[in-house]
Amino acid sequence: MTQIVEIHRSDDPRDAIHQACHRLADGDLVALPTETVYVIAANPLSSGGIEKLVALQPDCRRTLLLKSCFQLGDYVTDLPVFADRLARRGWPGPLTIALNKSVISGVFGDLSHAAQQSVTANDNTVSFRASAQNLLLDVLKLCPTPLVACAETVAKGNVPRTAADIASQFGDRVGLILDDGPCRYGEPSTVVNVNSSHWDIAEPGVVSECTIKRLCSEIFLFVCTGNTCRSPMAEALFRRLLAKHLNCHDEDLIDRGFNVLSAGISAGSGSPASTEAVNIMAEHGIELRNHESQAISERLLLHADHVLTMTRGHRQVILNAWPDLASRVRLLSCDQQDIADPYGGGPREYAECKLDIEQNLAELVRQIVP
């Protein structure tokens, strides 16, 4: 008989989490909530659990549930650029990434043969997901491997939005259901097939195609100290130069696959660009009056593909805190020189700074779009 544990009525939710882990280790199927729908999971180290999961839905797509976006690299030998961007920006969240089995690395071999077969779809892809649902994450933290989950739709295309939906569809075939109330979205995650140079939506879901396109864009982040002089000028000038090179408007860059941002090492939130920066940009037909400063953050840096700093000091500050980002953080200057801070200076200092930035950006644009 299926056991249903209502988390909000539990004296200690940790007991339910431990019980779920024990059930999974023993080869039982456990239903767990995600932010999209409820899924039924098995322990990939248990051949009995995998057999039960496959018997439950023989022809469905199954997914490896990961603890975080960083775990994907453990399973992929050469992560495609779009998969990397989707994982960094879309996870944790309602997004499933499907990759061809040929790029899956040796760590995948630690799973049982039955588990490997069960997560390989008919199109020879393996699907991965990192959910934002806290209860599911708590269970995953105590499991030695990712869990294998069945498809997010069940018989006749019904979507299990609640624990009751799972119970009514599968009955005693599921050993334990952790009931954490209705799921936030109540619709399946979006499944995106990704290869070395392309992506496409395999199964539509919560995340729209427009959002996927933006998540897959190439992000350039310009960094200075206060995000009121150099980096806002670099952001605006880069937009102008890149749009001109691509023969499009500034506002169309995101649809052409480029996103341009700026931030400051010691920036406050919401400060305007300096008057001198606004004036020097206005002389060249670029509007900076609507700029609002922001500080660098782990999220910004994690999402950016290219972090371009004004000085060696800025780069070092970032790498001191996030050393793993070394491959993505570099100086804007092509000759590895600092771009002087015009703050406190007059029109001449700002004009010289603008020229220095623009010359280096021109070379950057040539590298991006030959």
Q: Does residue 138 carry a catalytic annotation?
A: no
CA distance linking residue 335 with residue 10, whole number of Å: 62
Provide CATH 3.40.50.2300 ranges for the chain. Answer: 217-368
- The three-state DSSP-derived secondary structure of the chain is CCEEEEHHHCCCHHHHHHHHHHHHHCCCCEEEECCCCEEEEECCCCHHHHHHHHHHCCCCCCEEECCCHHHHHHCECCCCHHHHHHHHHHCCCCEEEEEEHHHECHHHHHCCHHHHHHHECCCCEEEEECCCCHHHHHHHHCCCCCEEECCCCCHHHCCCCCHHHHHHHHHHHCCEEEECCCCCCCCCCEEEEECCCCEEEEECCCCCHHHHHHHCCEEEEEEECCCCCHHHHHHHHHHHHHHHHHCCCHHHCHHHCEEEEEEECCCCCCCCCCHHHHHHHHCCCCCCCCCCCCECCHHHHHHCCEEEECCHHHHHHHHHHCHHHHHHEEECCCCCCCCCCCCCCCHHHHHHHHHHHHHHHHHHHHHHCC
Q: Which two tokens stand for residue 304?
A: 């950016």
CA distance linking residue 248 with residue 51, whole number of Å: 54
Return the pLDDT at 50: 94
Looking up tokens 């200690």 gives 12
- What does DSSP say about strands 38-42 and 147-149: parallel, antiparallel, or unpaired? antiparallel
Return the pLDDT at 27: 96
Return the pLDDT at 369: 79
CA distance linking residue 276 with residue 349, whole number of Å: 9
The catalytically annotated residue of 110, 250, 305, 341 is 341
Question: Cα dist. 92→4, 69, 96, 258 in Å?
Answer: 26, 7, 10, 23
Return the pLDDT at 227: 98
Query: Going residue by residue through the chain (370 aa), what tens digit of pLDDT does each one get?
Result: 789 999 999 889 999 999 999 999 999 999 999 999 999 999 999 989 999 999 998 888 899 999 999 999 888 888 999 999 999 999 999 999 999 998 888 778 778 888 888 899 888 999 999 999 999 999 999 999 999 998 776 655 688 999 999 999 898 999 999 999 999 999 999 999 999 889 999 999 999 999 999 999 999 999 999 999 999 999 999 999 999 999 999 999 998 999 999 999 999 999 999 999 999 999 999 999 999 999 999 999 999 999 999 999 999 999 999 999 999 999 999 999 999 999 999 999 999 999 999 999 999 999 987 6
The catalytically annotated residue of 23, 88, 230, 239 is 230
Q: Which two tokens stand for residue 6?
A: 């209502």
The catalytically annotated residue of 21, 69, 224, 229 is 224
Look at residues 146, 321, 357, 328 and name the one whose alpha carbon lies nearest to residue 240: 357
CA distance linking residue 250 with residue 252, whole number of Å: 5
| 186 backbone dihedrals φ, ψ, rounded to 5° | 75, 15
Task: Provide CATH code, domain 3-212.
Answer: 3.90.870.10
- Name the CATH superfamily for 217-368: Response regulator (3.40.50.2300)
Q: 120-155 burial string, b = 16+ CB within 10 Å, else e?
A: bbeeebbbbbbbebebbbbbbeebebbbbbbbbbbe
CA distance linking residue 91 with residue 95, whole number of Å: 7
Return the pLDDT at 108: 81
Provide CATH 3.90.870.10 ranges for the chain. Answer: 3-212
The DSSP bridge partners found for residue 96 are 129, 191
| 243 backbone dihedrals φ, ψ, rounded to 5° | -65, -40
- Cβ atoms of residues 12 and 35 within 8 Å: no
Q: Does residue 224 carry a catalytic annotation?
A: yes
C-alpha angle 170/37/3, rounded to 5°? 40
Looking up tokens 């997901």 gives 129
